[in-house]
Amino acid sequence: MSELLDDPALERSSVVANNSMNRTRGLAGVNSYERDLGFDPFHLLSETVRAQPDTTVTWIDLCCGSGRALLEAEQRFTRDLPNADIALLGIDLIDYFQTRPHTDRLRLITASAHDWHPDHPADLVTCVHGLHYIGDKLALLSAMASWLTPTGRLTAHFDPHSIRNPDGSSAARKVLAHLREAGLDYDRRHHRLTAQGPRALTFPATYLGADDTSGPGYTGQPAVTSHYDW
Q: Examine residue 1 and state whether it is found in any structural domain, yes or no.
A: no
Residue 19 domain boundaries: 7-229
Q: What is the CATH number of the domain that holds 142?
A: 3.40.50
From start to end of the chain, where are the E strands? 57-62, 86-92, 106-110, 122-127, 148-157, 163-164, 185-187, 192-196, 206-211, 225-229
Cβ atoms of residues 43 and 77 within 8 Å = no
Q: What is the mean pLDDT of residues 8-18?
A: 84
% pLDDT > 90, the chain? 83
Q: Are 131 and 160 in contact (CB under 8 A)?
A: no
pLDDT of residue 29: 87
Count of domains for the chain: 1
Query: Does residue 2 lie in a domain region?
Result: no
The pLDDT confidence band at residue 96, using thresholds 50, 70 and 90, is: confident
Q: What is the mean pLDDT of residues 11-33?
A: 80
Q: Are 65 and 47 in contact (CB under 8 A)?
A: no
Kindly indicate the confidence band of residue 42, based on its pLDDT and cuts at 50, 70 and 90.
very high
Residue 96 counted as domain residue: yes
Does residue 197 belong to any structural domain of this protein? yes
State pLDDT tens for residues 50-73.
999 899 999 999 999 999 999 999
What average pLDDT does this structure show over 178-200?
Answer: 96
pLDDT value of position 155: 98
- Whether 199 is covered by a domain: the verdict is yes
C-alpha 112/C-alpha 159 separation (Å) is 20
What is the tens place of the pLDDT at every residue in 205-217?
999 999 999 899 8
Name the strand (E) or helix (H) holding 179. helix 172-181
Q: Which amino acid is at 107?
A: R
Q: At what angle are helices 41-51 and 68-80 packed, to 10 degrees? A: 40
